[in-house]
Structure 1
Amino acid sequence: MSQADFLFELGTEELPPKSLMALSRALESSITGQLKELGLEHGQVIPYATPRRLAVIIEALEVQQADRHESRRGPSVKAPEKAVEGFARSCKVTLDDLAIVDTEKGQYYQFECQIKGSKTLDLLADVIDVALANLPIAKRMRWGASRNEFVRPVQWFILSLGNELVDTQLFDLSNSHSSRGHRFHSQGQITIDSPSSYAQQLRNQGHVVVSFDERKTMIRTQISEQAKALNATAVIDEKLLDEVTGLVEWPVCLTGRFDEAFLKVPAQALISSMKEHQKYFHFVDDKGDILPLFLTVSNIISKDANRVIAGNERVIRPRLADAVFFFETDKKTTLESRNEALGKVVFQAELGTVLDKTRRVSQLASRIARLIGADSALAARAGALSKADLNTDMVLEFSDLQGLMGHVYALSDGEDVTVAAALEQHYWPKFAGDCLPQSSIASAVAIADRLDTLVGLFGIGQPPTGSKDPYALRRATVGLLRIIIEQDLELDLAALLQASYALHEDLPSPLAKVQPQLLNFIFDRLRAHYEDQKVSVDIYLAVMENKSNSPLDFDRRVQAVSQFLKLDAAPALIASNKRVSNILSKNGNGDSSFDAALLLEAAEITLADSLEKIKQSNLAVITHGNYHDALQALAQLAGPLDQFFSDIMVMTDDDALKNNRLALLSELQTELGRVADISLLAH
């Protein structure tokens, strides 16, 4: 079948840079998905995205659908005549055109026809209409007198198959082969000769690099080259790199300087000021200290680059001066004195103010500190000051500095260094893979802060629902679990939830409802945590059957079961345990305990002896949480249990023997399930 290259380009005013790639991916996905539904095969798909255009090229797209045979089953030949006539009308034929076919249920009318495939050129307009309508645009805008809506005003478009244009209009614009290049470096409109020449023509004639990834690589390379020339290291934030890539069509990197006097401000404040307001990258020396340098990505090739640099230096100076002013002003007031103002800041309408929250966190952190062997007084102090920096000018201007500025200002106030560090670190981890708090004091505050939020919101009946999680409780829970597990903190969550609940006043939901609901929510997050670590879900489910309220204990069991599955004896023991479970579920557990005197056969005596030895050896091992050794010992039961099933008839006619053997299997099942229900494991 004939093929041709497809091109769609939508030219607009400058698109939002943070949304650019999401729009591009959605456009590509929708177009290719629809082509698949239409049965149109094609070759490589190449998406393009710049500030002023979204484009897709599809190589070797079939120019026509294949013919297809359609068959529709109608009513029975015994059906009323009107029903048959109605079916014929729906098929746009007469009764004589219907066939009669034999089926298992009798004879039925059937309509069959050969449908000629449509030309692809005739289908593309609808494909693009659907794709544009389904783009993830939070807020559409109108322009001029038109009632058309899009994320930004549309200026032109190209929709072609090969060199043939699709006969359609978009946003009241006519289709053509004309594109536009760089806003400043291009000379007039550019006539695109073919889809295959699109990217090269825009580069050569329009001074536009249409590939997002290519522009991103160009920027990264230029940054590295300039850093090397300055004997510095450029810190490339990937989100910032994506954003500036979405702001330029022909990237040119320029490096400027700022006054070293600004370096007395905490580095992160300078970085936030440069990154958030100016989209600048920063540099550090070989010790990791920030240098008085910045890099900006320009969208033009200037005849005098120094003038552009000087202009950026003039712009950044007042920004950094503001940071210095905020910093110096904030230091005139202690953190502790800022706490009272938090009493006017609502944390959540039903849960009180931020000051109320800090008081609860302080008390709970003190309790947790005692449980993990930390200084409870320091933990209480850190909890009490944990949100004080929210009232500082620096954090009000740069919200991402919360915690960090608390750390800096606490040191300035003469607070204990561990307390000061905890003000920053209790927010850790902020995202997947982020570092954990570095002291037990910070960990205590971090756990208390998260538990307070969880208990409060569940207590007022506002748990996360579906995709809605306005307080990021899922992320907070994963952070809570990581701190407890990775720092080996032996904590009973049920007890902590009860303590946190007691610190809240008049929660509408009772503790009896909140506690189990929250425990289930937290341990469900643990399932997602293990899935990210590629731990099989059946391991998680096996441990859930015998879990305590300690995440650390749960993790030890998971790790032990994971190691157990690597043993040669594991598959046989799992299979036999499933057999034991099936027998007991159908026949009960027999006597309350087995009687050794009734064990007659060698296989059952051997199994009973092996079980007794392992029960004694595992008693202390499991008490100390050494589940790895316990499962290693249980693996020794695989042989005796296999021999037991080979030689022994459990369901004998002698009720005494039968009940005794069932009791033996019941004790064995109990022992096998003390770490996890291994019958749930795949083998």
Structure 2
Amino acid sequence: MPDLFLELFSEEIPARMQRRAGEDLKKLVTDGLVDAGLTYEGAKAFATPRRLALHVAGVPVRSPDVKEERKGPRVGAPEKALAGFLRAAGLDSVDQAEIISDPKKGDFYVARIEKPGREATEIVAGLVAETVRKFPWPKSMRWGEGSLRWVRPLHSILCTFGAETEDPDVITVDVDGIPSGDITYGHRFLAPGPIRVKRLDDYMTSLEKAKVVLDADRRKDIIRTDADTAAHAIGLEVVTDEKLLDEASGLVEWPVVLIGAFDERFLDMPDEVIRTSIREHQKCFVLSDPKTGELANRFVLVSNLEASDGGLAITAGNEKVIRARLSDADFFWQSDLKTPLADNVARLDAIVFHEKLGSQGERVKRLETLAAAIAEKLGADPEKAARAAKLAKADLVSHMVYEFPELQGLMGKYYAEAQGEDAAVATAIEDHYKPQGPSDDVPSEPVAIAVALADKLDMLTGFWAIDEKPTGSKDPYALRRAALGVIRIILENELRFPLAAEPDLLNFFADRLKVQLREEGARHDLVDAVFAVDDQDDLLMVVRRIEALGKFLDSDDGANLLAGYKRAVNILRAEEKKSGETYSGRPDPNLLTEQAEKDLAGAIDIARTDAAKAIEAEDFAAAMAALATLRAPVDTFFDDILVNADDPALRENRLKLLNEIREATLAVADFSKIGG
């Protein structure tokens, strides 16, 4: 079957948009083909700075004929109903419909619609035009006198359709005066001439000759390999930066790796400053000495040109810009060092944190108090925690963080170290933002833990107080991330730290904990079951109880006890609904006439007592073992005893006994929340 090949050739597409744009093009076109009745065997999208391309293999030459039967209203129905039916079926009058008789429903109209298939070229022409006009760029522009919007001016559309053994047809498309053809263009400077294209294979081959590497992953591999080779040749290695590698591969169509240098005096600055400045301003990689791990005064740049001078002028230009940028960074560094962090704190009063929650200065005062209180609970130094909290946001008004906001916290640590602050305080200033993502480490030093928890809990309680909670997919203040941060800090450091939060906020933590545990393979219903028990705000104990409950339910004793529990609860609920009463309270021992009743009552008393002692001792495995003793007497009870006895007093007593099973399990978890 024929293949469809499409290229949209334009001015430079921002690197951050290319990969998504390629996938969007693939989805829009393939979804459109399927909606029009055209299947396909496979599709692959490509993106470079100047083009989006799509190859769709195995597309039929024509969509199939379609026969459709549409049922209409009854004969004699109101005119409005008939008009709606005719409009939906595409009929001019009811004479074009058939009348079908149904013995039960009577006579009604049926439209039998036959839609002839269409040529694939016709379908593709309309689909490509619609795709171009409605393409979902995050940002787009309009140029010239037309109405078309595109990320950058669109120059040409290449659209061919045909089998491998034939010369393909050019599908005629005209979008805002931009006609389609079978012409593309090579590298802007190295081979800018037109190239006639038939299909994907000759397209890629021709582009390669014209100094364009079409596949983004291949451009990444070229940059990575050539950069490593060039660095090793001078005894250095490239500092890994996958995000920058993705971006660099989207800036060039023909990657050429060059090595530049900068003045060694700049190495007196923190490595992160050098790396950030070079990366952000020039999209270059830094190099390090593999023997020492320290940065070298060299960098890797990725050019889009094979220059006749071997890249000397390009390298010199980049060196000049980097020298200027590092000079600026050095000025910021030296200026910031002259101002004690404590002197910056007063300036935080001028920065609004939130209109309803005050300034950053007011927030810092809250953090000082909260961090000291948390530190005392965790056995950390309260004075150091308060000091770290006071200075934690001070670098926000520094020159360096103003230029590079991503360095907040880290620069505060460097300034604190240089100004003689305690090591624990300096570490806490950097770490109090952590973790900021699932792969980020959590703070491990006691003072840092206290400040990090204070920072996140202040965020959560503050925004909860002003009713700015996450809704649906909206979470503008990253409160879900803050809650997950609290959870990870507590669990990974095995902290005993009751949250003492209001119920609504505690439920929010429970939801976040479900997400965390689900990613680790735990059952979310067990989280619900444990949180349903009163006063479950000690997350470490919650998780340990969940783990013990999961192991218990995986055993025969646990599975059978759960089944017995559900049977008991189902009977109770049915009787409570029928009578409008609840069967709470201890059963009357004088009415326990059968041995199975007596045995179950005795077993419940022992299990309840033993489980409570085990929970108090935080031995959750022992608590589960105590509940496991109920399995046999529960089974025997249901085998031997008729709960709904004729004697009302006996029936009520036995229902109270069933309620005792429910109450006994609540020592560990609410079994009604457990599935299965």
In 2, Cα distance between equivalents of 1:91 and 1:155? 40
Is 1:454–2:447 an aligned residue pair?
A: no
Structure 2 equivalent of residue 91 of structure 1: 90
CA displacement, residues 499-540 of structure 1 (integer Å, 9 cap, x when unaligned):
xxxxxxxxxxxxxxxx34333333222222223323222222
1:158-557 to 2 correspondences below 5 Å = 158-162=158-162, 163-204=168-209, 206-284=210-288, 285-305=290-310, 307=312, 308-494=314-500, 497=501, 515-546=502-533, 548-557=536-545
Change in Cα spacing, 1:287 to 1:617, as seen in structure 2 (3 Å) is farther
In 1, Cα distance between equivalents of 2:49 and 2:301? 17
* Residue pair 2:584, 2:659 contacting (<8 A) in 1 also: no
In 2, Cα distance between equivalents of 1:398 and 1:410? 18
In 1, Cα distance between equivalents of 2:453 and 2:173? 60
Structure 2 equivalent of residue 136 of structure 1: 136
CA displacement, residues 197-241 of structure 1 (integer Å, 9 cap, x when unaligned):
22222112x221111122122222223333443444423222211
Give, in angstroms, the shift of residue 281 of structure 1.
1.6
Structure 2 equivalent of residue 506 of structure 1: none
Structure 2 equivalent of residue 508 of structure 1: none
Q: Which amino acid aligns with 2:67?
A: H
- 2:30 pairs with 32, 37, 44, which one? 32
Structure 2 equivalent of residue 510 of structure 1: none
Change in Cα spacing, 1:606 to 1:200, as seen in structure 2 (3 Å) is farther
Change in Cα spacing, 1:255 to 1:639, as seen in structure 2 (3 Å) is farther
In 1, Cα distance between equivalents of 2:660 and 2:592? 14
CA displacement, residues 416-466 of structure 1 (integer Å, 9 cap, x when unaligned):
110111000001101112101121211111111112222222322322333
Structure 2 equivalent of residue 677 of structure 1: 670
Structure 1 equivalent of residue 21 of structure 2: 23
SS of structure 2 residue aligned to 1:365:
helix
Change in Cα spacing, 1:615 to 1:460, as seen in structure 2 (3 Å) is closer
- Stretches of structure 2 that go unaligned for 5 or more consecutive residues are 163-167, 577-581
Give, in angstroms, the shift of residue 156 of structure 1.
0.9
Change in Cα spacing, 1:590 to 1:88, as seen in structure 2 (3 Å) is closer
SS of structure 1 residue aligned to 2:513:
helix
Give, in angstroms, the shift of residue 337 of structure 1.
0.9
In 1, Cα distance between equivalents of 2:77 and 2:336? 87
In 1, Cα distance between equivalents of 2:82 and 2:404? 73
Mean alpha-carbon deviation: is it higher for 252-261 or for 640-649? Answer: 252-261
Give, in angstroms, the shift of residue 286 of structure 1.
4.5
Give, in angstroms, the shift of residue 626 of structure 1.
2.5
Give, in angstroms, the shift of residue 133 of structure 1.
4.2
Change in Cα spacing, 1:288 to 1:607, as seen in structure 2 (3 Å) is farther
Give, in angstroms, the shift of residue 27 of structure 1.
1.5
SS of structure 1 residue aligned to 2:2:
strand
Give, in angstroms, the shift of residue 172 of structure 1.
1.6
* Residue pair 2:608, 2:667 contacting (<8 A) in 1 also: no
Give, in angstroms, the shift of residue 134 of structure 1.
4.2
- Stretches of structure 1 that go unaligned for 5 or more consecutive residues are 498-514
Structure 1 equivalent of residue 555 of structure 2: 567
CA displacement, residues 348-371 of structure 1 (integer Å, 9 cap, x when unaligned):
222221111111111111111111
Change in Cα spacing, 1:95 to 1:219, as seen in structure 2 (3 Å) is same
Q: Which amino acid aligns with 1:335?
A: L
SS of structure 2 residue aligned to 1:61:
coil
Structure 1 equivalent of residue 648 of structure 2: 655
- 2:565 pairs with 577, 581, 587, which one? 577
SS of structure 1 residue aligned to 2:111:
strand
Give, in angstroms, the shift of residue 570 of structure 1.
2.6
Q: How many residues align?
A: 661
Give, in angstroms, the shift of residue 334 of structure 1.
0.5
In 2, Cα distance between equivalents of 1:202 and 1:242? 21
* Residue pair 2:491, 2:540 contacting (<8 A) in 1 also: yes
Structure 1 equivalent of residue 152 of structure 2: 152
In 2, Cα distance between equivalents of 1:613 and 1:437? 44
In 1, Cα distance between equivalents of 2:80 and 2:459? 66
SS of structure 2 residue aligned to 1:300:
coil
* Residue pair 2:510, 2:527 contacting (<8 A) in 1 also: no
The two structures have a TM-score, normalised by structure 2, of 0.93
Is 1:108–2:108 an aligned residue pair?
A: yes
SS of structure 2 residue aligned to 1:493:
coil
* Residue pair 2:612, 2:667 contacting (<8 A) in 1 also: no
Q: Which amino acid aligns with 1:98?
A: A
Structure 2 equivalent of residue 72 of structure 1: 70
Give, in angstroms, the shift of residue 638 of structure 1.
2.3
* Residue pair 1:209, 1:249 contacting (<8 A) in 2 also: yes
Mean alpha-carbon deviation: is it higher for 367-376 or for 307-316? Answer: 307-316
SS of structure 2 residue aligned to 1:160:
strand
Indicate the percent of aligned positions where both proteins have the same amino acid.
39
* Residue pair 1:590, 1:661 contacting (<8 A) in 2 also: no
Q: Which amino acid aligns with 2:264?
A: E
* Residue pair 2:126, 2:173 contacting (<8 A) in 1 also: no
The alignment's C-alpha RMSD in Å is 2.2
Change in Cα spacing, 1:193 to 1:350, as seen in structure 2 (3 Å) is same
* Residue pair 1:9, 1:53 contacting (<8 A) in 2 also: yes
